[in-house]
Amino acid sequence: QKEVEQDPGPLSVPEGAIVSLNCTYSNSAFQYFMWYRQYSRKGPELLMYTYSSGNKEDGRFTAQVDKSSKYISLFIRDSQPSDSATYLCAMSIFGNEKLTFGTGTRLTIIP
């Protein structure tokens, strides 16, 4: 079993819809949680970074962490065609900079 599980999709939604992306993890030592966005043929870029359980909002993006359930989510409101990309969750342990990634969810926003 992988430490981080993520549904690979693909996921297609109409423009303007709310998108929900999720990851589950098995290692309770993970303390830092990130969402990266990767466009085709590009490197991943950091979207959101959270440390504790709860919600963090940045514009149209909301990251949610539930440590008791070992479950993290990324919500995208008012989705745009430019949001079409692969979204990767990533996690790390305190004192260890190694990032453990999910396999990524490929998202397409249909105009």
Partner 1 sequence: DSGVTQTPKHLITATGQRVTLRCSPRSGDLSVYWYQQSLDQGLQFLIQYYNGEERAKGNILERFSAQQFPDLHSELNLSSLELGDSALYFCASSPRSQSTDTQYFGPGTRLTVL
Residue 14 buriedness (CB in 10 A; 0-12 / 13-18 / 19+): exposed
* Residues 15, 81 contacting (CB under 8 angstroms): yes
**Minimum distance of partner 1 from residue 11's CB (angstroms):** 17
Among 1, 40, 82, 97, binds partner 1 (CB under 8 A): 97
31 contacts partner 1 (rule: CB under 8 A): yes
Q: How far apart are CA 49 and CA 31, in angstroms?
A: 11
77 contacts partner 1 (rule: CB under 8 A): no
List residues binding partner 1 (CB under 8 A).
31-32, 36, 41-46, 49, 51, 88, 90, 92-104
